[in-house]
Amino acid sequence: MKLKLVLEILGFVALAVLVAVMPSFVSDFHSREFAIVGMYFIALLGLGVLTGYSGQISLGHGAFMAIGGYTTAILSVDGISGHPVRDIWTIPIAGVVAGLAGLLVGVPALRLSGLYLALITFGIAVSFPQLPKKFGGFLGGTSGQILNLVKAPFGLDLTPNDWIYYLTWGIALVLLAVAWWLLRGPTGRALQAIRDSEVAAASSGINLAFYKTLAFGISAFYAGVAGALYAMASAYVNPDTFPIILSIYLVVGLAVGGLGSLAGLIAGAALIYFLQNHADTVARWVNHLPAVDLNPKQPGISSAIFGAVLILVMLLLPTGAGGLLRKVFRPLTTRLYTRS
């Protein structure tokens, strides 16, 4: 197992170096795009802890992102008793608020299993956008809240896009390390035991209620942080900023990334961003096929492409990118283990 650890650390360092040098090779705008991918990655890490490791399916993580986003919006615009909070300091607060909401949801979740839980969390995703509409005075109603544009602090000479990029990926790497550290320790073992068999886990002395609720809380914390960053990058929140479909996209990202594989989630995050914002590019690729001539501007084409890509990905890679990675690397690692 030592070797696996070394490989994982090497992988992490490689990722960190890649993240650090990336903006030198791409345009300023692409930094922003990668930043948003990073935000989805953070949310997916949280979802991965919940679904991949404790086996609870949540179709409501968009709501936790929304809670994070709204926290950041309220704190940085209205502030605490009239004193606006600087945007980066709202991020941990947003995470904690969302995390508390997650713990709250985690308690009834104990009684629900499988698809019942999935559908109830979906209900939360569906219901959440209604709250700002109802409580418009505090949350801004349908017209939402306009945030200040992000600017690099501490006199750093960074464009807003680069700043949000480094901020997001800095946080993402820390949270990746935390998730990894958490999951390879006793917490991770407890969660995996619960996922595999609740009865067995309980009979070997694992406190089910504690760990399942904890998983919900951690997971919501991650989503809240992602939502806070997303609100900063958009400089705007309203009920449609975190639409119902976002929760579904996150689950899509998780499935594509592969359950139980933290690194594969980057692929999932990239797919979410890419298919939402670049369906026109995909249409142009598809047009290279003979006898195909799609007009990406025609209403409906982008949804059709998104849907078709999802189906194809899941048919070809039913275990997601993470599963593929494992399949590719297993022969290698097995050989290494047996030799050592």
Partner 1 sequence: MVGVRVLLVCLLAAAVAAAAAGARPNATPGVTANEIHLGSSVPLSGEAAIAGNVARGAEAYFKYVNARGGVNGRRIKFTYLDDGYDPGRAVNNTIRLVQQEQVFAMFSSLGTNNNLAVRKLLNDNKVPQLFVSSGATTFGRDYKKYPWTIGYIPPYSEEGAIFGRYIVKNIKKPKIAILYQDDDYGRDLVSGLRRGLGAKAKSIVARVGYDPTSSDVQPQVTQLKASKANVLMVFAFGKFSLQAFNAVSRLNWKPQIFVNDVSSASALMSIVPQKAANGAISIVFGKDPASSLWKSDKGIRLFQSILKQHGQDITSRDLKDGYFTAGMATAYTMVNTLKKAGRNPTRQSVMNAATHLNEKGNPFVLPGIVIHTTPKSRFPLTQVRLQRWQDNNWRPFGKLISARPR
Partner 2 sequence: MAVAAFTWTEFAQQLAAGIREGAIYAGLALALVIIYRSTRVINFAQGELATFTTFIAWSLMNHGLSFWSAFPIVLAIAFTGGVAIERILIRPVENASVLTIVIITLGLALLLNGLMSIIWGGQNRQFHGPFSTRTIDVGGVPISVQDIGIVVTSLALVALLALFFRYTKLGLAMRAAAVNPASSRLVGVRVSWMLALGWGIAAVLGAVAGMMIAPVVFLDPNMMQTILLYAFAAAVLGGLDSPLGAVVGGILLGVTITLLGRYVEFIGSTLKLPAALLLILVLLLVRPGGLFGKVAVRRV
Q: Summarize as ranges the residues that interact with partner 2 (CB under 8 A).
A: 51, 57, 108, 111-116, 118-120, 122-124, 126-127, 130-131, 133-134, 198-199, 202, 208, 248, 251-252, 254-256, 259, 298-311, 314-315, 318-319
User: Packing angle between helix 208-234 and helix 87-109, nearest 10 degrees?
Assistant: 150
Q: Please name the amino acid found at residue 135.
A: F
Neighbours of 172 (CB within 10 A): 26
Residue 232 tokens read as 């900063």
Compute the distance between CA of residue 253 and CA of residue 246 in angstroms, rounded to an integer: 10
Nearer residue to partner 2 within complex by CB, 95 or 129: 129
Least distance in angstroms from the C-beta of 247 to partner 2: 11
Element (H, E) at 224: helix 208-234
First to last CA, the chain: 10
DSSP bridge partners of 145: 237
213 binds partner 1 per the rule CB under 8 A: no
303 binds partner 1 per the rule CB under 8 A: yes
Neighbours of 15 (CB within 10 A): 16
Least distance in angstroms from the C-beta of 303 to partner 1: 5
19 binds partner 1 per the rule CB under 8 A: yes
Least distance in angstroms from the C-beta of 47 to partner 1: 18
Cα radius of gyration rounded to whole Å, the chain: 20
Which among partner 2, partner 1, none contacts residue 108 (Cβ within 5 to 8 A by kind)?
partner 2
Q: Which residues bind partner 1 (CB under 8 A)?
A: 16, 19-21, 23-24, 27-30, 32-33, 36, 126, 130, 133, 141-144, 146, 149, 156-159, 161-163, 166, 169-170, 173-174, 177, 230, 233-236, 238, 240-243, 245, 276-277, 279-280, 295, 297-303, 306
